[in-house]
Amino acid sequence: MVISDSRGRRVTIGDILVGEVWMASGQSNMQWPAAKSDCSKLKVAPKGTVAPIREFEVTSVYAALHPIEHADGAWKNGDYGQYSAIALAFAHKLYEELDAPIGILNCSFSQTSIQSWVPRVGFRDGEDAYTQAIYRQILETDPATPEHRAAWDRFYQEVEAALKEQRAISTKTPGNLHGNRDATWMFNGRLNPVVPYAIRGAIWNHGYANIGEGLRYYHNLHSLVRGWRLVWNRPDLPVFFHQFYSADVSPYPSIAGAAEMRLGTWLARDIPQTGMASQIDVEGAVHYRHKAVSGQRLALQALKNVYGKKELVADGPMYKSYEVQGDRLIVEFEHAEGGLVVAETGSNAIGKNGTGFSEPTIIEGGEARVKLFYLADDQRVWYPANVRIDGHKAIVTSPKVKAPRGVSYATGGVGFQPNLYNRALLPATPFIVYDHELVKSETWPDPPLKIDGVAVDPATVGKAYEYRKMPLLSSQFRDHAVLQAGVPVTVWGSAVHDWGYEAPGRAEIRFSFAGIEKTIPVTPGMREWQVTLPPMKASAEPKTLRVVFTIDGERVHERVYTNVVIGEVWYVAAPSLPFRLPGGAPTGGVVRAMTRRAKGSTSSHLRRFSVCISTTPENRYESRWEEAREGLAAALGRRIAAQTGNPVGIIFMQSEGGKGAVSPELKSWIPAEALNQAPSLLADYENLAALRPGTEQYLANGRRYLAAWKAYWSEYVPQLIATRRVPDGKAWGSYPTFASSVTSKAGQTYNALVHSFTPAALRGVAFIAGPAMVQQDGGATYGEQLSALANGWKQRFGGGDLDFVYTLPSRELAPRLTKPEQIKGRSAAVEVQDWGDVAGLIEAVVKRSR
β-bridge partners, 26: 108, 205
Whether 441 and 475 map to the same domain: the answer is no
Decide which of 244, 275, 308 is a domain's last residue.
308
Whether 367 and 451 map to the same domain: the answer is yes
Decide which of 456, 479, 496 is a domain's last residue.
456
How do beta strands 381-384 and 450-451 pair?
parallel
Residue 383, classified by CB atoms within 10 Å of its CB into exposed (0-12), middle (13-18) or buried (19+), is middle
Q: How far is CA 707 from CA 147, 369, 693, in A?
A: 20, 66, 18
Decide which of 433, 456, 479 is a domain's last residue.
456
Closest CA relative to residue 171, chosen from 693, 740, 737: 737
Q: How far apart are CA 504 and CA 425, in angstroms?
A: 51
Please give the pLDDT value at position 663.
85
Q: Which residues contact 102 (CB under 8 A, 6 or more apart)?
A: 19, 20, 21, 22, 52, 53, 54, 91, 94, 95
CATH number of the domain bearing residue 29: 3.40.50.1110
E strands, 377-515, are: 381-384, 386-390, 393-397, 406-409, 420-422, 431-434, 437-438, 450-451, 482-484, 489-494, 507-513
Whether 401 and 345 map to the same domain: the answer is yes
Whether 397 and 543 map to the same domain: the answer is no
Whether 538 and 438 map to the same domain: the answer is no
722 is a domain residue:
no
Whether 396 and 489 map to the same domain: the answer is no
Whether 339 and 382 map to the same domain: the answer is yes
Whether 580 and 636 map to the same domain: the answer is yes
Please give the pLDDT value at position 350.
37
Asked whether 387 and 370 are in contact (CB, 8 A), the reply is: yes
Q: How far apart are CA 73 and CA 60, in angstroms?
A: 7
Q: Which domain holds residue 571?
A: 460-670+747-850
Number of structural domains, the chain? 3
Whether 303 and 322 map to the same domain: the answer is no
509 is a domain residue:
yes
Please give the pLDDT value at position 499.
84
472 is a domain residue:
yes
198 is a domain residue:
yes
725 is a domain residue:
no
Q: How far apart are CA 754 and CA 845, in angstroms?
A: 19
Tell me the average confidence (pLDDT) per consecutive run of 10 residues in the chain, 850 residues long: 87 90 95 88 73 92 93 89 94 94 95 96 96 97 97 97 94 91 95 96 90 91 98 98 81 91 96 95 76 93 97 96 98 95 64 47 89 96 97 97 97 82 94 97 89 84 86 92 96 92 94 97 95 97 97 94 97 93 75 92 90 71 91 94 95 81 89 97 96 94 96 96 93 91 95 94 96 95 98 91 95 96 96 95 92
Planar angle of CA 823, 824, 829, nearest 5 degrees: 45
Whether 119 and 207 map to the same domain: the answer is yes
4 is a domain residue:
no
46 is a domain residue:
yes
Whether 380 and 280 map to the same domain: the answer is no
Whether 451 and 512 map to the same domain: the answer is no
6 is a domain residue:
no
Q: Which stretch of DSSP H or E encloses residue 161? A: helix 146-164
